[in-house]
Amino acid sequence: MTDASLPGNLRVRPNVPDLLGLLAIMAGAVVVATAGRHMLVPIPASEAGTIHLNPAWLPAYAVRTTLRMFAALAASLVFTFTYAVWAAKSRRAGQVLIPLLDILQSVPILGFLTFTVVFFLGLFPGRMMGAELAAIFTIFTSQAWNMAFAMYQALRTVPPDLEEAALCFGLTPWQRFWRLEVPFAIPSLVWNTMISMSGGWFMVVYSETITVGNTDIVLPGIGSYVGVAIEQRNIWAIFYAIAAMLAVILAYDQLLFRPLVAWSARFQTDEGTTLAAPDPWVLTLLRRTHLLRQACLKLGDMMTRIGWLPLGPRPSAPRRRLVPSRLLDGAWIAALAVCAVTIGWKTWAYASTHYTAGQMLHVTMLGSITLARVMITVVVASLIWVPLGIWLGLSPRRARRAQMAAQFMAAFPANLFFPLVVVVIVRWHLNSNIWLTPLMLLGTQWYILFNIVAGASSYPGDLLEAAKNFHVRGWLWWRRVMLPGITPYFITGALTASGGAWNAAIATEVASWGDTTLNADGLGAYIAHATVAGATDQVGLGMVVMAAFVLLLNRALWRPLSNYAARHYTFD
């Protein structure tokens, strides 16, 4: 044995941190295997309708909910790296996929649940697997669209100088994707993954309590625990559920997201204020291991080799077009026109036989009421969080703490606040149409705060220093320095907050506490009642109207504002 080989052999010997890490991995494997075994049992034998409010059951419920969340997150990542990449790489595909993504994110989550429960239960008749997949898919719909948009925007905004460098180095499409585009998208993708996890928590009650027509299945989890606590008016169980949620969020934040955020900082390309922070304790512990560290390095080397595979043509390789581009564009437009006419004709034929003009007008009016609530909520959230977010974002320490606190607060479902709201409204005989609206802030304000903090954190420090040297203060500083610089971030946050508010309308326009139920007029309440009743026609009409309102709002307001901000308020 040579002296050079001796240290290498010593480094791979396991130590105490290795043993701790291996024990944690084994425990995780046992938990996943146990949960997988419960998914395969028959529905009657699983006690699916029995939820115990004894807090001793909460650890097991928390594990089941967390596994569903991460299963949905894994599916969202697969969707992001296929759908979003295809939309960004293909101009023709993007013409269809991006408007379709707009429609998908505007469809309420309960609308998906209405049509997917029967499908998944039919795949696994009499088995819990079908109900579990329906719950996971519901959580997936609250996570995937945000992540896909983040990936798409990142791939479309790779700096031209980096693209030119990849061209000069002769990278193939496969190499350019893994060596340039994915690293550039990682910070945004990690950040939006954290937001998507919080969005999944917001709808976890509806995903674990499946009530569609005659189908009534309650899956063990924190969400169903909260639902039963609300039904039985058990306020202490609500507090236990809040504590369990805090513990779960803190655990995966420390074990997963803090290390991911620290790792993603390696790929930052902006020159703004950096959120410098000490390495998370998980990374510090991993660096002290011998065996696990070597395994991670081997895995990283393998992924690097895969990323360097010379797949695809070199930039200098001649390209042959068998069919002229104009001919392909014409055929593509013709195919899209045929599809649009066919879908429009089928939709009109169905609507004319299932809905009356008065019914469609009524649902449209309900959509207008919900639209007013959405816009008021976005304005109120902006007035609150724009100045606070700027103040937080200008300090790296405050920004880091605010992001962590907002991640916790964004995860709280609106249902947890139903006891307080219902009691106050009933006690003081308040108008439900007005006083249920503040609940919608829970689904909107955090998107604005996240983006404002990110915008203020990335504001170029030299411009702030120049404004300080020229004694620019007060309203002039806000109007000429800070507000123009964060405008693109604010519009992004307002757009996503608007979409979140539409989905939150279903959870906030109907509030229950025990046998007391309060309703607010609006499209969310219409869809919620139709879902419980199993009225598929009404759910479909509500979904179409809500999607139409969201698309109209995006195309008429948010997209033009976003394009204007990109042209006039960027630092490029």
Q: Give the SS3 label for residue 510.
A: strand
Helix (H) or strand (E) holding 406: helix 396-410
Decide if pLDDT at 10 tops 50.
no
Determine the average pLDDT of the residues in 134-160: 85
Structure tokens at 229: 């606590």
Determine the average pLDDT of the residues in 441-453: 82
Q: How far apart (Å, rounded) are the C-alpha atoms in residues 161 and 394?
A: 28
pLDDT at site 5: 43
Decide if pLDDT at 524 tops 80.
yes
Nearest to 221 by CA among 423, 46, 30, 29: 46
Q: How far apart (Å, rounded) are the C-alpha atoms in residues 368 and 122?
A: 37
Helix (H) or strand (E) holding 194: helix 182-202
DSSP state of 480: I
Q: How far apart (Å, rounded) are the C-alpha atoms in residues 542 and 128?
A: 29
pLDDT, one tens digit per residue, over 318-370 is 555 555 667 777 777 888 788 878 888 888 888 888 888 899 999 999 999 99
**Torsion 270-273-279-280 (CA) sign:** negative
Structure tokens at 526: 């219409």
To the nearest 10°, report the CA torsion of 135, 408, 386, 430. Answer: 70
Determine the average pLDDT of the residues in 160-179: 84
Q: How far apart (Å, rounded) are the C-alpha atoms in residues 176 and 170?
A: 9
Q: How confident is the model at residue 1 (pLDDT cuts 50, 70, 90)?
A: very low
pLDDT, one tens digit per residue, over 402-423 is 777 776 777 676 667 777 788 8
At which residue do the structure tokens 């674990």 appear? 208
pLDDT at site 12: 62
Spell out the residues 6+ positions from residue 119 whose beta carbon is closer than 8 angstroms to its own. none
Q: How far apart (Å, rounded) are the C-alpha atoms in residues 170 and 120?
A: 47
Q: What is the largest CA-CA distance in the chain?
A: 88
Q: How far apart (Å, rounded) are the C-alpha atoms in residues 572 and 272?
A: 13
Q: How confident is the model at residue 7 (pLDDT cuts 50, 70, 90)?
A: very low
Q: In this structure, which CATH number among 3.55.40.20, 3.30.70.20, 1.10.3720.10, 3.40.50.720 belongs to the domain 351-571?
A: 1.10.3720.10
Nearest to 58 by CA among 232, 202, 239: 239
Q: How far apart are the first and last CA of the chain?
A: 57
pLDDT at site 321: 56
Residues of the chain above pLDDT 90, percent = 12
Q: How confident is the model at residue 568 (pLDDT cuts 50, 70, 90)?
A: confident
pLDDT, one tens digit per residue, over 225-255 is 988 888 888 889 988 998 998 899 888 888 8
Nearest to 55 by CA among 237, 204, 197: 237
Structure tokens at 388: 């606070």
- Count of Cβ atoms closer than 10 Å to residue 541 Cβ: 23
Q: Give the SS3 label for residue 215.
A: strand
Contact 503, 351 (CB under 8 A): no
The mean pLDDT value of the chain amounts to: 81
pLDDT, one tens digit per residue, over 479-503 is 888 998 888 889 878 887 887 788 7
At which residue do the structure tokens 């605010």 appear? 402
Determine the average pLDDT of the residues in 142-161: 83
Would you identify the CATH topology of the domain 35-273? MetI-like fold (1.10.3720)
Q: How far apart (Å, rounded) are the C-alpha atoms in residues 289 and 331?
A: 58
Max avg pLDDT among 52-56, 147-151, 256-260, 567-571:
52-56
pLDDT at site 46: 45
More confident residue, 65 or 109: 65
Q: How far apart (Å, rounded) are the C-alpha atoms in residues 482 and 12?
A: 52
More confident residue, 535 or 276: 535
Domain boundaries, the chain: 35-273, 278-311, 351-571
DSSP track, 84-131: IHHHHH-HHHHHHHHHHHHHHHHS-HHHHHHHHHHHHHHHSTTBHHHH
Paired residues of 510 in beta bridges: 519
Q: How far apart (Å, rounded) are the C-alpha atoms in residues 48 and 564?
A: 52
pLDDT at site 381: 92
pLDDT at site 56: 92
Q: How confident is the model at residue 4 (pLDDT cuts 50, 70, 90)?
A: very low
Q: How far apart (Å, rounded) are the C-alpha atoms in residues 62 and 68?
A: 10
Do 351-571 and 35-273 fall under one CATH topology? yes
pLDDT at site 273: 47
Decide if pLDDT at 283 tops 60.
yes
Nearest to 230 by CA among 416, 421, 436, 423: 416
Task: Sort strands 516-519 and 209-212 into parallel, antiparallel or unpaired.
Answer: unpaired
At which residue do the structure tokens 């703490």 appear? 401
Per-position b or e across 469-481, b if 16+ CB within 10 A of its CB: eeebeeeeeeeeb
Interior CA angle at 483 toward 479 and 488, to 5°? 145
Q: Give the SS3 label for residue 158.
A: coil
Max avg pLDDT among 306-315, 330-339, 472-481:
472-481
Residue type, 188: S
Decide if pLDDT at 428 tops 80.
yes
C-alpha distances (whole Å) from 487 to each of 139, 192, 387, 451, 497 are: 31, 19, 13, 10, 15
Nearest to 145 by CA among 202, 178, 193: 193
Residues in the chain: 572
C-alpha distances (whole Å) from 71 to each of 76, 210, 400, 423, 430 are: 9, 18, 27, 36, 42
For the entire predicted model, the pTM comes to: 0.82
C-alpha distances (whole Å) from 81 to each of 148, 154, 204, 556 are: 8, 12, 24, 29
The count of C-alpha atoms lying within 13 angstroms of the C-alpha of 272, restricted to the half-sphere facing its C-beta, is 20
